[in-house]
Amino acid sequence: MLNYALRRLLFAVPTLLAISFIIFAILDLAPNDPTGSLPITIPADVRANIRHQLGLDQPMPVRYMKWCLQFFWHEPLALIEQWTGLSIGDSETRLRVTSWSTRSPVVDLIVERFPQTLWVIGMAYVIGVLIALPIGVISAYRQYSWFDQLGTFVSMVGFSVPTFFTGLLLIVIFSVQLQWLPSVYDTNHKVTDWASFWVQVRQMLMPVAVLALYNAAQISRYLRASMLDNLDQDYVRTARAKGLRERSVVAIHVLRNSLIPVVTVIALGFPQALGGAVITEQIFRINGIGQLLIQGIHSADIPLVQTITFLFAIMIVLFNLIADLLYGVLDPRVRYD
């Protein structure tokens, strides 16, 4: 297993390099432009000069190599310097990956965004998973009971009604009509005591609910399906025949074997949720990583988009590896050698 993990990690390096190049090529080909949101009164020659200043008229491979140098060499050095306080070489003139729209290091932007993304989106994801697991298990165990029918209904509607609708619906009800909850997330809010903690809870309530519903819908469906497959298996009959208590049959044998597809969904969903919760982030103005990414895309901020997308690529590769390793833990028959 360890051997396998190491080999996969080793393989991840060329994979990620290839991915980074393909992402860069796509961003370069994309027809959107960093001067697109400038006031229309700015004449074309000034725009051309700005494009030149950003280096957009250099050949694509040159710009890619520059990004690689900045990301794989300058950024780690800058990080080490920040941690140790040492200065290595000529740190003054070393260029970090710099966003075109803010003219500041991209990594600093991401670090600034990470707390609220992790708090809200991460929390919503965890809650979604925690809701989904019991719903999936009970739905399968009592297939076609009223609980199962209700679960099916809620989760399919939850998945087919987009978050831009549920988010706005919640705002209209709880912020406009009832005036209970804030509709705008305050990213500067600091939790220092119980009162401020309560404020934080209130501003997280609606976005977390919207996202948790969406994620739980998906995960619970897969778990239910997988549970149904396993409940009919011979080993379940054997376990029951051996006189094991029903609860431990379900919890230990069935659930464990049913988790394989669910582990995939959960592992894959996490990086996607962090970057893909854009709509929810926009509706509630949470301004996390997803919002940073989408604003970068709209302003054609290639260094920013490239860096964020690449960091997500790393996460995806890692989480897929974790999922694969978990397969082996959940089902000893799955072997990699």
Partner 1 sequence: MTDQAIPGRRRAATRRAALVSRFLSHRGAVAGLMVLTAIVLLVLLGPLVHTVDPQYLDYLDKNHGASWKHPLGTDNLGRDLLAQVLRGGRVSLAVGVTAMLLSIALGTIVGVLAGFFRWLDGPLMRLVDLFLALPLLPLLLVVILLFRDTLRAAFGPEIGIFILIVAVIGITSWMQTARIVRGEVLALREQEYVLAARSIGTRPRRIITRHILPNVLSPIMVSAALGVANAILLESALSFLGLGFPSDFPTWGRLLFDGVNFMTLTPGRVIWPGLAISLTVLSVNYIGDGLRDAMDPRAGGR
Partner 2 sequence: MGLKIFLGSAAALSMAATGALAERGSDGQLNLLYWQAASILNPYLSGGTKDLEASSMILDPLANYDEAGNMVPVLVTEIPTVENGGVSEDLRTITWKLRNDIVWSDGTPLTAADVKFSAEYCMHPEGGCNSAAKFTDVESVEALDDQTVKITFSVAKPFPYGPLVGAMSPVIQMAQFKDCMGAKAPECTEANFNPIGTGPFKVTEFKPNDVVVLEANENYRDPDKPAFATAVFKGGGDAASAARAVLETGEFDYAWNLQVEPEILAGMEAAGKGVVVSSFGPAVERLVMNLSNPDPALGDERSTVAHPHPFLTDQAVSRALSLAIDRQILVDAGYGSAGKVTCNVLPAPDMMVSTANDWCQTADVDEANRLLDEAGWVRGADGVREKDGVRLSILFQTSVNSVRQGTQALIKQMWQSIGVETELRSVDASVFFGSDPASPDTIQKFYADVEMYTNTFDGTDPEKYMANWQCDEVPSPANQWVGSNNPRFCNDEYDALVAEMGKTASLEKRAELAKRMNDVLVSEGAFIPLVHRGDVSAHAASIEGVRMNSWDSELWNIEDWTRVK
58 binds partner 2 (CB under 8 A): no
For partner 1, how many residues bind (rule: CB under 8 A)?
A: 62
CB of 236: closest distance to partner 1 in angstroms? Answer: 10
Q: Footprint of partner 1 on residues 282-321 (CB under 8 A)?
A: 293-294, 297, 305, 309-310, 312-313, 316-317, 320
Tokens standing for residue 242:
């051996």
Distance, CA of 238 to CA of 41 (rounded, Å): 78
C-beta of residue 238 within 8 angstroms of C-beta of residue 151 = no
Pick the piece of the chain touching partner 2 (CB under 8 A) from 102-110, 133-141, 252-260, 269-277.
Answer: 102-110
In order of 30, 64, 66, 242, the CA distances from 71 in angstroms are 21, 10, 8, 59
Q: Footprint of partner 2 on residues 299-318 (CB under 8 A)?
A: 299-300
174 binds partner 1 (CB under 8 A): no
- Contacting partner 1 (CB under 8 A), which of 268, 282, 287, 325? 268
C-beta of residue 303 within 8 angstroms of C-beta of residue 155 = no
- Contacting partner 2 (CB under 8 A), which of 13, 18, 22, 42? 42
- Contacting partner 1 (CB under 8 A), which of 72, 164, 180, 197? 164
- Residue that the structure tokens 């949470």 belong to: 286
68 binds partner 1 (CB under 8 A): no
Q: How far is CA 267 from the centre of its chain?
A: 10
In order of 228, 256, 258, the CA distances from 237 in angstroms are 14, 16, 16
Q: Footprint of partner 2 on residues 248-287 (CB under 8 A)?
A: 281-283, 285-287
29 binds partner 1 (CB under 8 A): yes
Task: Look at residues 307, 311, 315, 313 and name the one whose alpha carbon lies nearest to residue 70.
Answer: 307
Q: Which does 100 bind (CB under 5 to 8 A by kind): partner 1, partner 2, none?
A: partner 2
Q: Which does 207 bind (CB under 5 to 8 A by kind): partner 2, partner 1, none?
A: none
CB of 63: closest distance to partner 1 in angstroms? Answer: 15
171 binds partner 2 (CB under 8 A): yes
Q: What is the dihedral of CA 75, 77, 80, 82, to 10 degrees?
A: -70
CB atoms within 10 A of CB 248: 10
- Contacting partner 2 (CB under 8 A), which of 175, 200, 218, 320? 175
